[in-house]
Structure 1
Amino acid sequence: MTVVDIPAVPSAPASPVSGAQWAAEVRALAEERNAVILAHNYQLPEIQDVAHHVGDSLYLSRIAATAPESTIVFCGVHFMAETAKILSPEKTVLIPDAAAGCSLADSLTADQLRAWKAENPGAVVVSYVNTTAEVKAETDICCTSSNAVDVVASIPADTPVLFGPDQFLGAHVRRVLQRDNIQVWGGECHVHAGINGAQLAATAEADPEADLYIHPECGCATSALYLATAGAVAPERIKILSTGDMVTAAKQSTSRSVLVATEIGMIHQLRRAAPGIDFRPVNDRASCSYMKMITPEKVLRSLRELRDEVVVDPQIAARARGAVERMIAIGNSGGGE
């Protein structure tokens, strides 16, 4: 398993500028700048509420590729803003804090991927979209958590696959497709990996009527299947879903209570989608400090000053674009990361 040192990231301070006046100024500046604001589901609630589009990585990638605005303000982490730039090289892409990184993306470098490919000639490389532009440039096709199974299923069954960097998503794909020629990199998101099986079992036992929404990046995804096999949790209660698919499931659900295993920012979107359901996190400390680096004052500063522009080397972007476009074309038309 790849070990990644996670740099300390200060918690986002409570913003003195958030509120109706801030939101009105942000929207007015966005119109003036011909800018569209995109926000990931894990962003702070006030960021989600002011954005023009909120969703997961696949949905936001589609918006970035087709939005008519000349400027994209991407409220997420750096690899997401890079992906927007790859898909729309002619547009200005801004991220309100350029230091907003990703431990999962950091767990596989382009040099490591090149070495892995050299050891496995003939293998098809499938990279989770949570990777850097340089890794995407070495990739045959990207995927998100909602279309990962479809992406790998589109590859001939006798062709070996190198899947990276998330070990839990890779294990999920291998389990669903029952293919033993899928090699999986040992990376992980430190937030999702920290949502463990013991926490899931305890919260499920405390609320035996609740459904379980589990992101496949979580360390507890396999444990959920064990709970079902052991009879501790009814199998129909367990739903392994991307964040986008969680919103879809919530809108269609008749449950009164849902336990959610993913980053806690997701709870805000779920409550908006289905206000009559009691959504609660499996781990209420599962907060990504990188995501929370995007604060209201930084969004306002980004629009005022047009600063922290995301730049991707044109040659790298050109090589990465095909892998990302193939991801967008395959499989689930709804959710993503």
Structure 2
Amino acid sequence: MTSSLLSYPEPCADIAPQRIASSIDTEDQWRSLRAHHAQSHRQQGNVLVSRWTRNITTPFEVVNHGNESDHCIGLSLKCVSLTFHHAGRRLMQGRVTAGAVQVTAPAVPVSAVFESPADVLHLFASQQVLAECYEDLFQRPHAGDIVLGDPKLIRDPALDRLGQALVVSRTDDAALDKVFTESVGLAIVSRIVARQFTASNTRNREGAALPQWRMNRVIEYIDAHLSEAIGLADIAASAGFTRMHFAAQFRRATGLRPHEYLLRRRIEHAQHLLLNSKHNVFDVALSCGFRSQAHFTTVFKRFVGETPYCWRMKANGAQ
């Protein structure tokens, strides 16, 4: 890593204030549990959920030497550009789509260089939680410790929806919020355990996913043409495929339909323009490929939870 990169320990000036319910912790350091929360969740056999948010755009290096006893499940809430190392080996370099999940087993060191803003959920699952999920799924105890040892990115629409449900849920009832967070956290862990122990059958039934080098071409094409009317045939052609073969492979690689991914990228670009330019909402809509402000507002609210105007006012007020 170059010396020009920021890295921990440094003041966490880019960590945004917690904007969601108190049962989701705000991380002071990437993938690091607060001591009292860690002890409490292990004693109770719960999944601890925390959130790490980075808003600045300069490259930023983070390191974690490995959690002593818990698996760490990272779920990206937005598209992010990064280089990720797992156990000393580069696992990922480039853009990671929203909803992508990565699982790190206990005592495995990881590091990352984030080159764009990031918003990540981390779920910490103890051996007790994994064993309970396994027994609930398969109606028998697992012999020995459960190790989720495959670090490759998981793209699963169900996991994406569960993660989004965690961050959009808000309630003034602390007890109810705690129950909801624990329930959804367990659902995420349970699905990952199910994928681990049924993976061989699943791989035999599924076709190939879009290779990473073709995926990179698609991402570059979409980002370069966000203001234009892009069709499925255009995106497929950028990867060297026909529409028929492309859509299925893209969905296996990302967990998203091409159109859904395109909308996500347009909304993320719109957020950047709303935050960093003085364009009005209509001009932002046109710059992001929407043909009317009404359609833009509808899609923006579906993804972000607020209208573009309200989001901009709150974001500017938080700066």
Normalising by structure 1, we get a TM-score of 0.24
